[in-house]
Amino acid sequence: MKLLKTLILSGLLLSAPASADVLADKNCGSCHRLKPEEIEKSFTGPDLHYSGNKFQPEWLKQYLINPEVIRPAGFVTDPGFLPKTDLPPHASSSIEDANALTKELMTLKISTPAPVNPEPLSKGLRAKIKYQFERTFGCISCHQSLNLAGKVRGGISGPSLVNAGNRLQAAWVADLLKTPETYIAKSRMPSYKMEPATLEQFTRFLMTLKKENIK
Amino acid sequence: MLINRKFLLTGIALLIILVTACGQSEQSTSIAKPPTQQEVGEVREVNRQTLQPKIVTVTEETRQTYKWYCSQCHGVKGKGDGINAKFLTVPPRNHTKAAYLETRTNEQLFEAIKFGGLSVGRAPCMPAWGHTLAEDTIHSLVRYIRELCHCEAF
């Protein structure tokens, strides 16, 4: 019996992925939520317990090596909503660490959102949705995006969408717009009850936003 | 002749105002025809009953709601100086200025929050909060704005 217990225990230990330690080694959990059950604690960085749903692995790896600014006003958790300009930049990792971290982060998933048509939007539809992005839904008040001239425009309280097409998975974007509560208990963003067709076009529009299009 | 020119000038000025969007967009003005509500999938259900003046008292929750959502643009104290303010072409309303707010009825304020700025002929930067906030919450926010401006509608 004791032998059996030891066997099971050692089996459990061995079967735990070795790379799981990478997140702990790098102390990611001190700023980021890595498990859905961690709710009470208030984190100073964005939730990562659905990284595998949210990010494109190539972007994640590049980010870890050479971090870019996603939230120009910092990750604002303060209910008084004061910009935190004193936040240190995200640590940068070596290529090996970035590979290991990306591999591990991509396993963190909480949902299986339906895939979105990967075809890029036509120029006409892009212009139409861009118009809605600015005027119908007012997204640009809080999110930076690119205008048709390739210039960065928009507010800073929400994450920048200038590089959304490289950073995010289309299926996740669509799912977030449809059911934000799956990912964020209480967002600062208004809910939009979009028609499915609008939602799909919106997602595909966001996927056209890439930093290489900045002029 | 002079009158005709005046008309023309007013027309041009109106057009310019109409096509100006939120994000300081000099290039975003290529579309002449705005999409209809149906196209964008936003079905606006105006229930006249709920637009009637309703007094909902301001609670701590109202203040927290204002801080959480509204302060992004309107500022923590409602002075129109939120962290997004300087990035918008149309500055967010300063809720402490009675001179303007006393010209707005409570229904107009309610509609602006529930259906967005465009619904009351104001800037599109203000999104619609009708799918996010309960009607009573919106009524209490209207009361809170009245507290901030120390004013009532005429």
For A112, phi then psi, to 5°, come to -130, 80
Q: Cβ atoms within 10 A of the Cβ of B17, count?
A: 8
Locate the chain B residue with the closest alpha carbon to A125. Answer: B31
CA distances from B55 to B39, B120, B144 (A): 35, 21, 11
Q: What is the pLDDT of residues A86-133, one digit of tens each?
A: 677 889 999 999 999 999 999 999 999 999 998 889 999 999 999 999
Q: What is the pLDDT of residues B96-150, one digit of tens each?
A: 999 999 999 999 999 999 999 999 999 999 999 999 999 999 999 999 999 999 9
Tokens 């005046």 correspond to: B6
For A152, phi then psi, to 5°, come to -75, 130
| Residues in contact with A88: Cβ distance below 8 Å, sequence separation at least 6, in sequence order | none
Do B71 and A80 lie within an 8 Å CB cutoff? yes
A187 and A138 inside one domain: yes
Contacts of A142 in chain B (CB under 8 A): 72-73, 84
Do B28 and A138 lie within an 8 Å CB cutoff? no
A143 and A96 inside one domain: no
Q: B30 falls in which pLDDT band (50, 70, 90)? A: very low
Q: Output the pLDDT for position A80.
A: 67
Site from B40, B43, B69, B77 to mutate, A interface, most A CB atoms within 10 angstroms: B40
A140 and A98 inside one domain: no
Class level of CATH domain B54-154: mainly alpha
**What CATH code is carried by the domain that includes residue A172?**
1.10.760.10
Which residue of B26, B67, B125 is in closest CB contact with A141?
B125
Task: Note whether residue A6 is domain-resident.
Answer: no
Q: How far apart are the C-alpha atoms of B83 and B103, rounded to whole Å?
A: 26
Q: How far apart are the C-alpha atoms of A94 and A158, rounded to whole Å?
A: 29
Q: Output the pLDDT for position B28.
A: 43
**Residue A81 CB burial class (10 angstroms; 0-12, 13-18, ≥19):** buried
- The letter for the amino acid at A94 is S
pLDDT above 70 as % of chain A: 85
> What is the domain range of residue A43?
16-105
**Residue A128 CB burial class (10 angstroms; 0-12, 13-18, ≥19):** buried
| Rg of chain B on CA atoms, in Å | 17
Mean pLDDT over B78-92 rounds to 93
Last residue of a domain, one of A72, A105, A138: A105
Residue A66 DSSP class: S
A149 and A200 inside one domain: yes
Q: How far apart are the C-alpha atoms of A25 and B138, rounded to whole Å?
A: 47
Task: Note whether residue A27 is domain-resident.
Answer: yes
Per-domain residue ranges of chain B: 54-154
Contact B147, B57 (CB under 8 A): no
| Rg of chain A on CA atoms, in Å | 19
Contacts of B76 in chain A (CB under 8 A): 80-82
User: Would you list the DSSP string of chain B?
Assistant: -HHHHHHHHHHHHHHHHHH--SS--SSTT---SPPPTTTTT------HHHHS-------HHHHHHIIIIIHHHH-TTSSS--TTGGG-SSPPP-TT-HHHHTTS-HHHHHHHHHH-GGGGTS-TTS---TTTS-HHHHHHHHHHHHHHHT----
Do A188 and B31 lie within an 8 Å CB cutoff? no
A93 and A137 inside one domain: no
Q: What is the pLDDT of residues B32-76, one digit of tens each?
A: 455 554 454 444 555 555 556 667 899 999 999 999 999 999 999
Q: Output the pLDDT for position B21.
A: 58
Contact B64, A79 (CB under 8 A): yes
Task: Note whether residue A9 is domain-resident.
Answer: no
Instruction: Report the domain count for chain A.
Output: 2
Q: Output the pLDDT for position A154.
A: 95
For chain A, list residues with pLDDT below 70: 1-20, 40-41, 78-86
Q: Output the pLDDT for position B19.
A: 47
**How many CB pairs below 8 A link A and B?**
133
**What CATH code is carried by the domain that includes residue A91?**
1.10.760
Degrees to nearest 5, angle at CA A131 with B109 and A168: 105
Locate the chain A residue with the closest alpha carbon to B18. Answer: A135
> Could you tell me if B30 lies within 8 Å of chain A, comparing CB atoms?
yes
For A210, phi then psi, to 5°, come to -140, 145
Find the largest Cα–Cα distance for chain A.
72
Which residue of B30, B72, B132 is in closest CB contact with A142?
B72
Task: Note whether residue A115 is domain-resident.
Answer: no
Contacts of A205 in chain B (CB under 8 A): none
